[in-house]
């Protein structure tokens, strides 16, 4: 299961394109918080340096977070989408989606391959083709950081199907 991190969301007013640019030059990234049972989205800003560290340290699609809201209070959320500048790669915007206990969520979970060095099929000249991530539906408290697949016992021509993977309940 992925760790729970804390992100502080500060208030921001609706602004023009130049206003959002000024916000970014001041070291903040515009963001929005939305989700089930919220009457309307909450707009805010987060510290760009802190968020970039979180995005670099983990697979952001499975990272659960406690979001400290501008009006007070905390909500469990997941980073649903990030937008980056197409040329510079700089962070432009972040979407946080509210998670409710007892309500399933669909997330993309990365695949980690284990056992390549002892795989008989690879030693015989086979090629390993793999997915990079799998979309799963799970409870917010049970979002795995990754799914590990052991290929050490695969012979030439054998495969592991997604339906055969053992996932934690």
Tell me the CB-side half-sphere exposure of residue 157, using CA atoms within 13 A. 0
Superfamily of domain 105-164: Ribosomal protein L25, C-terminal domain (2.170.120.20)
pLDDT exceeds cutoff 80 at 80: yes
- Domains of the chain, residue spans: 4-98, 105-164
Q: Tell me which fold the domain 4-98 belongs to.
A: Ribosomal Protein L25; Chain P (2.40.240)
Instruction: State the Cα–Cα distance between residues 159 and 163, nearest whole angstrom.
Output: 12
Which pTM was predicted? 0.81
Pairing of strands 74-84, 4-8: unpaired
pLDDT bucket at 74, cuts 50 / 70 / 90? very high
Question: Could you give the percent of the chain with pLDDT greater than 90?
Answer: 43
- Which pLDDT value is given to residue 105? 92
- Which pLDDT value is given to residue 32? 95
Name residues whose C-beta falls within 8 Å of residue 95's C-beta, 6 or more positions apart in sequence: 31, 32, 34, 79, 80, 81, 82
Q: What confidence tens digit (pLDDT) does each residue in 12-62 have?
A: 877 777 777 888 889 999 999 999 999 999 999 999 999 999 888 767 888
Q: Give the pLDDT mean for 133-137.
A: 90
């Amino acid at each position: 299961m992925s760790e729970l991190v804390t992100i502080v969301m500060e208030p921001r007013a609706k602004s023009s394109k130049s206003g959002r640019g000024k916000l970014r030059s001041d070291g903040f990234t515009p963001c929005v918080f939305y989700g089930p049972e919220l009457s309307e989205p909450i707009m805010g800003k987060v510290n760009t340096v802190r968020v970039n560290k979180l995005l670099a340290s983990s697979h952001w699609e499975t990272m659960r977070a406690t979001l400290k809201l501008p009006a007070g209070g905390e909500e469990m959320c997941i980073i649903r989408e990030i937008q980056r500048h197409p040329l510079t790669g700089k962070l432009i915007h972040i979407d946080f989606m509210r998670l409710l206990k007892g309500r399933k969520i669909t997330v993309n979970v990365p695949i980690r391959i284990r056992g390549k060095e002892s795989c008989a099929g690879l030693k015989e000249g086979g090629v390993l083709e793999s997915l990079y991530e799998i979309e799963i539906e799970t409870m917010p408290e049970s979002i795995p950081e990754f799914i590990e697949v052991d290929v050490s016992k695969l012979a030439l021509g054998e495969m592991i199907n997604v339906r055969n993977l053992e996932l934690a309940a």
